[in-house]
């Protein structure tokens, strides 16, 4: 694992965007695995800026998102579909037909998860997967569990996740209780993984996930087993990492 230490959120965002940009420049038809949450927003802003000034071209890029709330229509401003359009897709020259998310409006979980998993495989897998980190160590919506979930599946969100995400909704009651997410196996199949983390409130989980034991109770800990992971984190998020 490579750790790139950033000074602060802005620096983390620029460094992460540089790595995504390098991927797109080196392989213009890359399949990017994209993430939501507040952490990647700054990196997306940089990509938009560089696309607008002509340094970056998304015209042949394809994307698959990690996850989506089950039951939220695309028009709901808290759906991840809406988030991605708002923060990236509508602001760069990506072909909307090449952007993919789980369909939160499909009520049949088995059908939707099988469709999404097959779609990812049909694109040839993910070249670079961007990940944020939940406070409980979740990646995508893979919550702490007794075993690692392999493929795209429907999850019941944990109370801590509902708590963390309620800031985006009118109240905790409005946060959907379920979501579709790529599985840990799906994520681990990505050729490269880029994790972005910022803030002191993530310092404990960064230390646990990347320097503790590999356990499904800390889903992100599995990333220690991946051969090409880059963690871009700011000084606050790295403040509890054991010093050599």
Residue 136 among the catalytic residues:
yes
Q: Nearest-CA neighbor of 205 among 126, 129, 128, 131?
A: 131
Nearer to ligand GLP, 60 or 136 (CB): 136
Least distance (Å) between residue 39 CB and ligand GLP: 3
Binding status of residue 59 toward ligand GLP by CB under 6 A: no
Question: Could you say which of 68, 117, 143, 234 is catalytic?
Answer: 143
Binding status of residue 66 toward ligand GLP by CB under 6 A: yes
Binding status of residue 141 toward ligand GLP by CB under 6 A: yes
In the region spanning residues 160 to 199, those forming contacts with ligand GLP, defined by CB under 6 A, are: 161, 165
Question: Could you say which of 65, 87, 98, 136 is catalytic?
Answer: 136
Q: Nearest-CA neighbor of 191 among 127, 122, 131?
A: 127
Binding status of residue 36 toward ligand GLP by CB under 6 A: yes
Distance (Å, whole) CA 217 – CA 42: 29
Residue 138 among the catalytic residues:
yes
Dihedral in degrees, nearest 10, Cα atoms 61, 67, 72, 77: -60
Binding status of residue 219 toward ligand GLP by CB under 6 A: no
Distance (Å, whole) CA 217 – CA 231: 20
Q: Where are the alpha helices (DSSP H) in the chain?
A: 9-26, 41-52, 80-87, 109-122, 159-165, 184-188, 203-211
Cα distances (Å, whole numbers) of residue 179 to 29, 71, 72, 103: 29, 8, 10, 10
Binding status of residue 88 toward ligand GLP by CB under 6 A: no
The residues near 243 (Cβ < 8 Å, ≥ 6 apart) are none
Dihedral in degrees, nearest 10, Cα atoms 2, 47, 183, 167: 110
Nearer to ligand GLP, 61 or 209 (CB): 209
Binding status of residue 143 toward ligand GLP by CB under 6 A: no
Residue 67 among the catalytic residues:
yes
Binding status of residue 35 toward ligand GLP by CB under 6 A: yes
Binding status of residue 63 toward ligand GLP by CB under 6 A: no
Question: Could you say which of 68, 112, 138, 142 is catalytic?
Answer: 138
Binding status of residue 81 toward ligand GLP by CB under 6 A: no
Residue 100 among the catalytic residues:
no
The residues near 174 (Cβ < 8 Å, ≥ 6 apart) are 166
Stretch in the footprint of ligand GLP (CB under 6 A) among 26-34, 54-62, 118-126, 132-140:
132-140
Catalytic residues: 67, 136, 138, 143
Residues at the site binding ligand GLP, with contacts judged by CB under 6 A = 35-39, 66-67, 132-134, 140-141, 161, 165
């Amino acid at each position: 694992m490579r750790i790139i230490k950033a000074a602060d959120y802005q620096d983390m965002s620029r460094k992460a965007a540089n790595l995504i940009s390098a991927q797109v420049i080196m392989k213009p038809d890359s399949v990017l695995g994209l993430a939501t949450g507040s952490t990647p927003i700054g990196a997306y802003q940089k990509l938009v800026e560089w696309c607008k000034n002509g340094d970056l071209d998304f015209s042949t890029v394809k994307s698959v998102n990690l996850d989506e709330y089950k039951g939220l229509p695309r028009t709901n401003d808290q759906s991840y579909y809406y988030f991605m359009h708002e923060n990236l897709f509508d602001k760069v020259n990506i072909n909307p037909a090449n952007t993919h998310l789980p369909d939160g409006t499909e009520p049949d979980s088995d059908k939707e998860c099988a469709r999404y998993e097959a779609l990812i495989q049909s694109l040839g897998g993910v070249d670079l997967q961007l990940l944020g980190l939940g406070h409980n160590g979740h990646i995508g919506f893979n919550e702490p569990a007794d075993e690692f979930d392999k493929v795209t599946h429907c999850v019941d969100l944990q109370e801590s996740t509902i708590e963390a995400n309620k800031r985006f909704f009118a109240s905790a009651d409005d946060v959907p209780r379920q979501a579709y997410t790529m599985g840990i196996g799906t994520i681990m199949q990505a050729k490269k993984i880029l994790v972005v983390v910022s803030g002191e409130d993530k310092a404990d989980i960064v230390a646990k996930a990347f320097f503790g034991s590999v356990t499904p109770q800390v889903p992100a800990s599995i990333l220690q087993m991946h051969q090409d992971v880059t963690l871009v984190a700011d000084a606050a998020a790295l403040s509890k990492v054991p010093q050599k």
